[in-house]
Amino acid sequence: MMRIGSVKPIVLGAIFTAVLLLANSIAWSAEQDGKSLFEKRCMACHQLPNPDEPPPEGWEQRLQGMAPLARLKEDQKEDVLEYLLAHSQQSARAAALQEDKLLFEEKCSGCHTLDRVFLEPLTAESRRHVVKNMQELIGTGWITDEDVENILVYLDAAVAEGSAKYAAQAAESLTANATVETIFRTRCSACHSLERVYAMLGKNEESQNLAYTHTVSRMRNKAPQWMTDEEAAEIINYLRSLN
């Protein structure tokens, strides 16, 4: 049997290196996807790059030089590249959606509250009709054709989440002992200013009472998750009492 002491240092070094490579190979084989490969291999040598910020030359070109240093096989390199490209695309979409959200808030909040958009359940076709109608009323100087498309992109992505949020608020925003004035102010100010309501006061009482009933009922039908039948009846009676 060969004694350890008789083995030359260079041979021991080679054995140690081989064992280390084998251990690394076994550990790396457990990596399941591009994300874990990217995090483990890249961080071994330097600070982990931000997957949201592609290098100037692009991820594909960067990996051409880095893959050999990280000992990435060809299929592993493809997995890492797929992860980085997908991550970058998601980040870019999120940034673009945030810009569209700011555009929506700027262009659409001048005439009504933004809550109104989410309280009233509309189809994608109906949303396009409404936004185009707003463009015609205000003019293309304020809402351009490009603005229309960007606003609709945001609404298509956000309306489901927004509607759910406001539906939850509707269930929680009023206490059981809320006054009828509080109910009126909370429910009716979500879609428009209350000045519109107060401007209707003082007119012919009989026709005005009919108008209140018609308007509140119409608002109730537009956003049934925001106003209950009982609240609608209380608001109508409250408005009649103001005449």
Q: Using one digit for the tens of pLDDT, what is the confidence trace for 89-110?
A: 777 777 777 888 888 888 887 7
Closest CA to 29 of 18, 40, 19, 17: 40
Confidence class for position 200, pLDDT limits 50, 70, 90: low
Place of tokens 């483990």: 40
Q: What rounded mean pLDDT belongs to the chain?
A: 74
The string of DSSP codes covering 78-138 is HHHHHHHHHHHHHHHHHHHHHHHHHHHHHHHTTTS-THHHHHS---HHHHHHHHHHHHHHH
Question: pLDDT tens digits, residue range 125-150?
Answer: 888 998 999 899 888 889 999 999 99
Question: pLDDT tens digits, residue range 19-43?
Answer: 444 444 443 443 458 777 777 777 6
Q: Give me the pLDDT at residue 145, please.
A: 93
3-state class (DSSP) for residue 71: coil
**Residues across the chain:** 243
pTM (predicted TM-score): 0.43
Q: Give me the pLDDT at residue 148, please.
A: 93
CB 103 within 8 A of CB 154: yes
Confidence class for position 207, pLDDT limits 50, 70, 90: confident
CB 38 within 8 A of CB 80: yes
The Cβ of residue 90 has, within 10 Å, a number of other Cβ atoms equal to 12
Question: pLDDT tens digits, residue range 40-73?
Answer: 777 667 676 777 777 777 777 777 777 777 778 8
Beta-carbon contacts of residue 163 (< 8 Å; ≥ 6 apart): 118, 119, 121, 225
Could you tell me how far CA 169 lies from the centroid of its own chain?
Answer: 18
